[in-house]
Amino acid sequence: MNIVFLNGNYMPIQEAKISPLDRGFLFGDGIYEVIPVYSDITVALMYHINRMNDGFKAIGLKVNWSENQWEALCKKLIEKNGGGTLGIYLQVSRGADTNRAHGFPSNVEPTMFAMTFAIPIPKTPNLETAKSFALKSIEDLRWKRCQIKSTALLGNVLHFQESHDAGAQEALLYNNKQQLTEASAANVFVIKNGVIATPLISNQILPGITRRLVIDIVANYGTSAVEERIVTMKEVNDADEIWITSSTKGLMPVTQLDDKPVGSGKVGQVWLEVATLYFKYKLSY
Ligand code: PDD
């Protein structure tokens, strides 16, 4: 595998040898991963490696790295970039051919691109000071393979921008049956009368790692299990609380949807309880 690094002193971009004929550039023909790091330690690295391997398999990309190789790469990136709190970005494309052709090339080495970037330092969850999100609901017009963490993110980018153009910070997406799918760069949870629900894993959503962790944490330490099922837009609009989850944002409350308050319009009590459990989990990692 050809590896290209970016960041810090590790290897400046000028030295990066990425061909303009790389299929990552030409076709978005690749898989990526974002792994959060707190106090120098990756969170749930194995889940991220497994999801990457699922992605490679789904697009017929042969990458036979062992867990140890991925772990060593992440360790090196953390060390060379000052450690602490950061995000690791890994991307593997099918590689660079000598011309532009849609079919998979033969005898081409995959290209890996790796960098780190800043993510917010986790703070003790607090009802008064929590940052909350305003979402805009938009029909999900992406493709039917949203479970693949593909570098081809134009559909997500357009939805994200549409929400920003409308004055919101994220898009809450629903399918043509008026069922919640996810956000453009996060998963979504809906809470009513203390019951937490989130859409089932399917080809309509990315199987988020933070989503998985929140479900596991609630099952282990919470008072009731998260329901993984179809969530209708009627439920979304009637919700007491809405949350979004991602590796970079963590678990964030949503207090506005389509310019209307969610529930009381304030950050909710259930969020506080689960976010506190998630915060402790991250620190104990
Ligand atoms: N995005 N759904 C989509 C479409 C996403 O892009 C993401 C994450 C998630 C949440 O997945 P996870 O909890 O594993 O981060 C759900 C990343 C952070 C990104 O593209 O930057």
Structure confidence at residue 12 (pLDDT):
39
- Residue pair 159/188 in contact (Cβ under 8 Å)? The answer is no
Retrieve residue 143's tokens: 């493709």
Instruction: Report how far ligand 1's centroid is from the alpha carbon of 255 (Å).
Output: 20
Structure confidence at residue 13 (pLDDT):
40
Structure confidence at residue 33 (pLDDT):
98
DSSP track, 88-130: EEEEEE--B-SS--SSPPSS---EEEEEEE--PPP----TTT-
CA dihedral 238, 180, 48, 15 (to 10 degrees): -110
Of 182, 245, 255, the C-alpha closest to 214 is 245
Helices first, then strands: H and E counts in the chain? 7, 14
Instruction: Report how far ligand 1's centroid is from the alpha carbon of 208 (Å).
Output: 6
Instruction: Report how far ligand 1's centroid is from the alpha carbon of 107 (Å).
Output: 31
Structure confidence at residue 224 (pLDDT):
78
Structure confidence at residue 50 (pLDDT):
98
- Atom 3 in ligand 1: which residue has the minimum CA distance? 185
Gap between the Cα atoms of 102 and 26, Å rounded: 9
Among 117, 170, 187, the mutation site with the greatest number of ligand 1 atoms within 8 A of its Cβ is 187
Gap between the Cα atoms of 25 and 113, Å rounded: 12
Of 54, 53, 90, 46, the C-alpha closest to 71 is 46
Q: How far is CA 26 from CA 2, 13, 58, 102, 108, in A?
A: 17, 19, 19, 9, 15
Q: Which amino acid is at 21?
A: L
Q: Which residues of the chain have pLDDT under 70?
A: 4-17, 285
Gap between the Cα atoms of 91 and 89, Å rounded: 7
* Segments making up each domain of the chain, as ranges: 2-117, 133-284
248 within ligand 1 shell (Cβ under 6 A)? yes
Instruction: Report how far ligand 1's centroid is from the alpha carbon of 189 (Å).
Output: 14
Structure confidence at residue 207 (pLDDT):
98
150 within ligand 1 shell (Cβ under 6 A)? no
Structure confidence at residue 14 (pLDDT):
41
Neighbours of 74 (CB within 10 A): 21
- Atom 20 in ligand 1: which residue has the minimum CA distance? 185
The domain defined by 133-284 folds into D-amino Acid Aminotransferase; Chain A, domain 2 (3.20.10)
DSSP state of 86: E
210 within ligand 1 shell (Cβ under 6 A)? yes
Structure confidence at residue 93 (pLDDT):
94
Q: Does domain 2-117 have CATH number 3.30.470.10?
A: yes
Residues tagged active-site: 149
156 within ligand 1 shell (Cβ under 6 A)? yes
- Atom 4 in ligand 1: which residue has the minimum CA distance? 185
- Burial group, residue 219, by CB count within 10 angstroms (0-12, 13-18, 19+): exposed
